[in-house]
Structure 1
Amino acid sequence: MTTTTRTRVRRSAVGVAAVGIIVGGAVVWSAPERYFPWDTADFPAASSNLTPAQQRVVSVAGREHDDPRPGTFYAEGVEEAWCADFVSWVMRESGMPLENPNSGSWRIPGVYTLTEYYQEQGRFEPVGDYRPAVGDVVLYESGGPLGNVLVGQHTNIVVAVDGDSVTTVGGNEMGGIRVHDLAVDDDSAVLGFGRLEP
């Protein structure tokens, strides 16, 4: 085989692989429920056992889930991964604004900084013995929910608890706001939780 022929074969193989990745990605994006268990749970109704703060978080998050806006809305017009922006926005609208340790703004756009915020406030609970409560913020290490489905860190909000399982809602999940169930002890991507209340 000549050098020119080998080059053409390599280029063809790369082209076929690229088309396969693009088509596969389009299938996953257009039918996420078939591949990932997001929005498998209905958004839960607020329990009567919740504190007023928890009720506000569930109410605001539920409203946004049912009538979502583009990610730039939660990020003050910035085009970026907006999961932490969504968490920040829900907390502000619920009357419990966060404070970015770097800028003083209510918006904390990064999961690393969001984790630092909860640590500095004494409200960070590493995964393990702590049982999350409604309104807590789930903080994921690189990989995000469901292992390698998401690339990079991720965060979302607990909106219901049933034993060792929690229901969460998050922004920037498959391009929107999604609800899914999470078995806390079985998801190795969970780094810890930001407590809603001290």
Structure 2
Amino acid sequence: MTTANKITIVRILMIPFFIWCAMQDTVAFQIAALALFCVASFTDFLDGYVARKYNQVTDFGKFVDPLADKLLVTAALLIFIEKGYFAAWMVFIILAREFIITSLRIVAANKGRVLAATWTGKVKTCVQIGGVILLFLSQIVFELTPQGAYSAPQPIWTGLIWWLAPWVVTLVTLYSGFDYLRKNWDLIKDGAVKEK
């Protein structure tokens, strides 16, 4: 197994530990969960860099790398449903986008075509990771303040982050999916529109 693939596997193995820490109530575990998520997110860049630099691009890596990314982000989003930060319908839209684009890639592959990553897809990934990190940070900071410790009304800035971050992540993800479909509609238009 290549070094790049080993890094990807490590990212997947980190996910259960991330979930367990994130579901604990103490600040220490929330910090640990944030640290695990940040390290796992960094390995997404690292395994790609290693694969390209040392010519370690493999079919296994092409399959497992995006899977690891989706598992990590999905785990965080499901945790945020539990915590009340994300509405279930928002997570449904985000996951639906991932399923649709994955299916589109399969159709493209069957037709001998590779769907290149678009700038909207890259922005989507960055926004999702950034949104997760921001929500964890705001929760940790809130719980470390007197407001959090004594269950006083939450500061305006934390409430704004908890409201705004899910909306930004959802809308950017939705637009990214629309952009992929718009640019590659020719792959699936056969049979979708009845010819006159």
Question: Do both proteins adopt the same fold according to a TM-score greater than 0.5, normalized to the shorter chain?
Answer: no
Q: Give the strand-richer structure, 1 or 2.
A: 1
Q: TM-score range by the shorter chain?
A: under 0.3
Q: Give the helix-richer structure, 1 or 2.
A: 2
